[in-house]
A and B are shown apart, each in its own frame.
Chain A
Amino acid sequence: MTSREKVVVAVKEALITAASTFRDDQFRAYQRAVEKETEESARWALESMIENARIAAEKRYPLCDDTGIPHLFVEVGDQVPLAPGMLEAIREGVAAGQRALPTRPMGLLGDDEQRLSQSGGLSDDPAWVVPPAMLVKTVPGDELRVTVMLMGGGPEIRSTTYRVFHERSAEKVIREAGRWAAEAAAKLGCTPMIPCIGIGRTHYEATTMMLEAMKEGNFDRQSEWEQLVTDMVNATSVGSLGLRGSVTALGTFIKVGPLRASGLRMVCMRPSCAIDPRRGTAVLKASELVG
């Protein structure tokens, strides 16, 4: 297998894993939620989602029919020789994964006007749902890591990227993002949610920090701020699927980036849904990327 083929296969597997697999910390978070939840209907919803995840992993089915828009977070080790065609091979791997699962064919056809008004029809090729420009970050080491994240439509409807006047208080910034998350809970529907929050200097940077939070977040490791946001959302008592209950947020992921001297912070809050974060990572050693 050529190095290019290795990348295609690894990224294809990463996409399928993202679409169909709960990680261990996700299962543990759900188990804790079931134990905590006292409302029968909400507990049934949580148990259904655990069962759904078991079947999805076993049969490699999508966790959710909205298989989302694939987003790529690429970490390139400083000792990795990135040969010509490697970034294109990542895109090929995404398309191969989309066709193999398959993901949902929802990409629109036509010119700008037709796509905006949804009047040009749809492609029946799942790979027509192309990823946006990939995020590339250099890191120390000899690995190429490609994380595929699938971003469904529900959370996108209720995401916010906006400025917050911090008034020299970190807690004020976090609480504002927590307030946005709490407001989104009832209409999101697919609760328990996972508020994913990025903070930076520009709207773009705040959004990339939010993506990085989704890439790194772990339900077993929650910071004081992450717990604060989770508690704020749980105080709404919206519960799973909106059925009322004590678990409205399963956890929170926050990433703070570089910041500038200013009275403002740019904050991105995505109320990720009950099956998020859907992510899978392809890891290739520099030695695999030669030839």
Chain B
Amino acid sequence: MERRRIETPISPEVARELKVGDAFEIYGKILCGRDAVLPKLVKMSREGTLGDLARHLEGTVIFHTAVSPAGIGPTSSNKIEIESSIGPLSQAGVRIHLGKGAISKETIDSMSACGSVFAVTPPATALFMDKIVSQRVLAFPEEGMEALFEVEVKGLPGIVAAARGETIF
């Protein structure tokens, strides 16, 4: 299966080329966050208090996952705290939201208006172990495994499940 190589940060032009069904592999630094921290990022973005985090959001991938000694793997993106972040964080510059599970038409429309996409990846934690180059807590360390992490990856796979107002679901 042919997979497109995508390096972060992702330009708006590259993100807009992506369409439903496209397979890719990600290289570079991405963000990992889930239920606990994504609403905090949305709130900070709305209030204009992101500070240096704004730079990290621009052109990035947010992988909906915890980060722990047990590894990484997708959590359900349709949990309310995660799905409600997809539109606002697209506005803040996030280009690929990577997770699992069907998301709503409303979310897809708000994300697509920013030229961002939603992609899915398998629950393949053992397979992903050697795709992690490095990791560090970027913010909210008090959230433990749910903190916001910056993770450098090589070849993390995904398939576009929603883009340009269209969806595979």
A residues bordering B, Cβ < 8 Å?
20, 40-41, 44-45, 48-49, 51-53, 55-56, 59, 61-67, 101-106, 118, 121-122, 124, 126, 153-154, 157, 186-190, 240-244, 273-275
Q: What is the 8 Å Cβ interface bit string for chain B, positions 107-127, against chain A (1 contact, 0 not)?
A: 000000000000011111111
CB-CB under 8 A from B144, the residues of chain A are: 105-106, 121-122, 124
27 contacts between A and B (CB under 8 A): A52-B125, A62-B70, A63-B125, A63-B126, A65-B65, A65-B70, A65-B125, A102-B70, A103-B70, A104-B70, A104-B145, A122-B143, A124-B144, A153-B75, A186-B102, A188-B101, A189-B78, A189-B99, A189-B102, A241-B100, A241-B120, A241-B121, A241-B159, A242-B102, A242-B169, A243-B168, A273-B123
CB-CB under 8 A from B36, the residues of chain A are: 118
Complex: A115 Cα to B39 Cα, angstroms: 19
Complex: A118 Cα to B126 Cα, angstroms: 28
Once the chains bind, are A275 and B102 in contact (CB under 8 Å)? no
Once the chains bind, are B76 and A66 in contact (CB under 8 Å)? no
A105 to chain B, nearest CB (A): 6
Interface size for B (C-beta < 8 A) is: 41
Complex: A63 Cα to B1 Cα, angstroms: 23
Residue from B77, B125, B126, B157 in contact with A189 in the complex, judged by beta carbons closer than 8 Å:
B77
Closest to B159 in A: A41
Once the chains bind, are B101 and A186 in contact (CB under 8 Å)? yes
Once the chains bind, are A52 and B122 in contact (CB under 8 Å)? yes
Whether B62 sits at the interface, judged by CB under 8 Å, is no
B149 to chain A, nearest CB (A): 12
Closest to A98 in B: B70
CB-CB under 8 A from A63, the residues of chain B are: 123, 125-126
Q: Known contacts A49-B124, A66-B75, A274-B123: does B70 contact A187 (CB below 8 Å)? A: no
Closest to B1 in A: A44
Q: Known contacts A65-B72, A189-B100: does B120 contact A48 (CB below 8 Å)? A: no
Q: What is the 8 Å Cβ interface bit string for chain B, positions 122-166, against chain A (1 contact, 0 not)?
A: 111111010000000000001111100000000001010100000
Complex: A154 Cα to B69 Cα, angstroms: 20
CB-CB under 8 A from A102, the residues of chain B are: 69-70
CB-CB under 8 A from B75, the residues of chain A are: 66, 153-154
Residue from B23, B78, B123, B145 in contact with A64 in the complex, judged by beta carbons closer than 8 Å:
B123
Whether B88 sits at the interface, judged by CB under 8 Å, is no
Closest to A48 in B: B122
Once the chains bind, are A51 and B70 in contact (CB under 8 Å)? no
Once the chains bind, are B72 and A189 in contact (CB under 8 Å)? no
Complex: A241 Cα to B75 Cα, angstroms: 12
CB-CB under 8 A from A106, the residues of chain B are: 66, 68, 144-145
Residue from B101, B121, B142, B161 in contact with A121 in the complex, judged by beta carbons closer than 8 Å:
B142
CB-CB under 8 A from B168, the residues of chain A are: 242-244
A83 to chain B, nearest CB (A): 34
A134 to chain B, nearest CB (A): 23
Once the chains bind, are B71 and A187 in contact (CB under 8 Å)? no
Closest to B65 in A: A65
Closest to B129 in A: A61
CB-CB under 8 A from A242, the residues of chain B are: 100-102, 120, 161, 168-169
Whether B73 sits at the interface, judged by CB under 8 Å, is yes
Once the chains bind, are A48 and B76 in contact (CB under 8 Å)? no
CB-CB under 8 A from A44, the residues of chain B are: 1, 23, 159
Once the chains bind, are B78 and A187 in contact (CB under 8 Å)? yes
Complex: A20 Cα to B159 Cα, angstroms: 25
- List 9 tightest A-B contacts by C-beta distance, closest first: A189-B100, A189-B101, A122-B144, A56-B126, A52-B124, A61-B126, A65-B73, A104-B70, A186-B102
Residue from A55, A121, A124, A274 in contact with B126 in the complex, judged by beta carbons closer than 8 Å:
A55
CB-CB under 8 A from A188, the residues of chain B are: 76, 101
CB-CB under 8 A from A52, the residues of chain B are: 122-127
CB-CB under 8 A from B77, the residues of chain A are: 189
CB-CB under 8 A from B126, the residues of chain A are: 20, 52-53, 55-56, 59, 61-63
Complex: A56 Cα to B71 Cα, angstroms: 12
